[in-house]
Amino acid sequence: MKRQITFPGLLILLAFFFTGATNPAIDTLINSDLHNSKTAIVPVPDTIRKKTIIYIFPIQKEIAKPVWRITQKSLEEARALHADYILIRMNTYGGLLNDADSIRTTLLKCTIPTMVYINNNAASAGALISIACDSIYMHSGSTIGAATVVNQTGQQVPDKYQSYMRGMMRATAEAHGKDTILQNGDTIIRWHRDPRIAEAMVDPRVVVPGICDSGKVLTLTTEEAIRLGYCEGKAENIEEVMQQAGIKDYEIHEFILTPVEKIIGFLASPGVSGFLIMIIVGGIYFELRTPGVGFPLAAAILAAILYFAPLYLEGLAAHWEILLFIVGLILVAVEIFAIPGFGVAGISGITLIVTGLTLSLIDNFVFKFDTALAMRMLIKSLFIVLVSALTAVILSIFLTKKATESRKFKFALHTTLESGEGFVGVNQKQQQLLTGKTGVTHTVLRPAGKVEIDGEIYDAISEIGFIEKGTSVKVTRHITGQIYVLPEEEKS
């Protein structure tokens, strides 16, 4: 009997072909109709099959807030693309444990299968993240392990922190499950990732017979990791990883930093942060030296915005640290424009500014986790701020002196200042004679301005900050060409 496809089956097949549908119900209906007609199944052409989507993102620097943020964004993009697999390019010596734990937890909960390709190093926190992935692939000559918790000097932190890390490593390995085998009446448990090996990467006291009994922290090479079930295969590139995973028809989507993220990373770099601190301090210093100008203070505020914004977005600067800086800035402004001399408000303001700048460079979690490490990081950050501030002050003094001496800043006077118009030149002897005399403010003093004494106008600075125009004042002292005044009622 001649084989043929029934009319209903033909319609369904055509609909399937032109729409590219992959509905299992349609597949079943087609196969059922063809089977009933005693006709062979027609294979679906490769051109209409959906390609496997692989989403790749890197962890190739110290694990900290920026890496955690990249991980979050990458997983969001992978879900939006309906990716079939997520692949991490791994090459790191470790980093902050709290951020590594956040990444680990997120990967364990991820519904998309995760793979990691270790190209050279997956040490410390990098090992923790790698073990959290469903599959591990390693480049030849790579290593994984050495997950002992250390401080910035490389020394081991107290055992309570090691215990915490051991627990995380063990739990991460156990999360991949185990096989329970009954053999000759005995129950044998075979872990997919042996938790004892994970613990041995943290604690040198953990002994795994035949694997780790030397009293040293365990680090596995590529071949050792494959043999012990901590690596699915060796690969020299991404293409070989796909071959090892049995993925043939795929397309790759990679995480790419946006221009805004690149700018944030640039501004958050230590060198740029130090430069911005110099502008902040230099601007405040200029404003203290020449009150009322405004531009130096505006430059300091702009630099502060550029300083704090990326640190806040990276999760380093907290609200209260930024608030400390703002309060300090307000106190300095009050000292400049409202309070005479330089006293409690000015000193308090500068202290709060330095505190805000320093603490914003440190992750607050460190204070909860390791007090000794936090103090070392605090001293390091304070050193950066103070050195930048001192450099700013020295440069400000030097540039001010150069600017006044340079020909570029020498201007010719093309008009005559007549004494009849109220202008007068004052020498040292005349300044001494002015001390104790009374006059009237010719302009508003905030605190610099002009006063009129005996019908002549002099530059003057208020001892109390702001003085209204037309106020009766008395000269209290003179210093290097500058006279200082107080309202007569204040003097009395």
Distance CA 371, CA 366 (A): 7
Bridging pattern class, strands 456-462 and 482-487: parallel
Among candidate residues 385, 368, 435, the one with its CA nearest the CA of residue 277:
385
- 8 A C-beta contact, residue 57 and residue 255: yes
- The confidence score (pLDDT) of residue 181 equals 76
Q: Residue 7 pLDDT > 50, yes or no?
A: no
pLDDT in tens, 436-490: 888 999 887 877 788 888 888 888 888 887 788 888 999 888 876 678 889 987 6
Paired strand residues for 478: 483
pLDDT in tens, 234-252: 999 999 999 999 999 999 9
Domains 52-254 and 419-491 share a fold: no
Segment 285-313 shows an average pLDDT of 79
Task: Classify domain 52-254 at the CATH topology level.
Answer: 2-enoyl-CoA Hydratase; Chain A, domain 1 (3.90.226)
pLDDT in tens, 103-116: 999 999 999 999 99
- The confidence score (pLDDT) of residue 365 equals 62
The mean-pLDDT minimum among 157-161, 172-176, 435-439, 453-457 falls in 157-161
Q: Residue 347 pLDDT > 60, yes or no?
A: yes
Q: Domain ranges in the chain? A: 7-48, 52-254, 259-405, 419-491
For 225, the enclosing helix (H) or strand (E) is: helix 222-227
- The confidence score (pLDDT) of residue 429 equals 62
Cα dihedral 463, 468, 472, 473 in deg (nearest 10) = 10
Output the 3-class SS for 316-349: CCCHHHHHHHHHHHHHHHHHHHCCCCCCHHHHHH
Chain centroid to Cα 420, Å, comes to 63
CATH match for 419-491 among 1.10.260.40, 3.30.70.100, 3.40.50.300, 2.40.50.140: 2.40.50.140
- 8 A C-beta contact, residue 270 and residue 377: no
Q: Residue 58 pLDDT > 90, yes or no?
A: yes
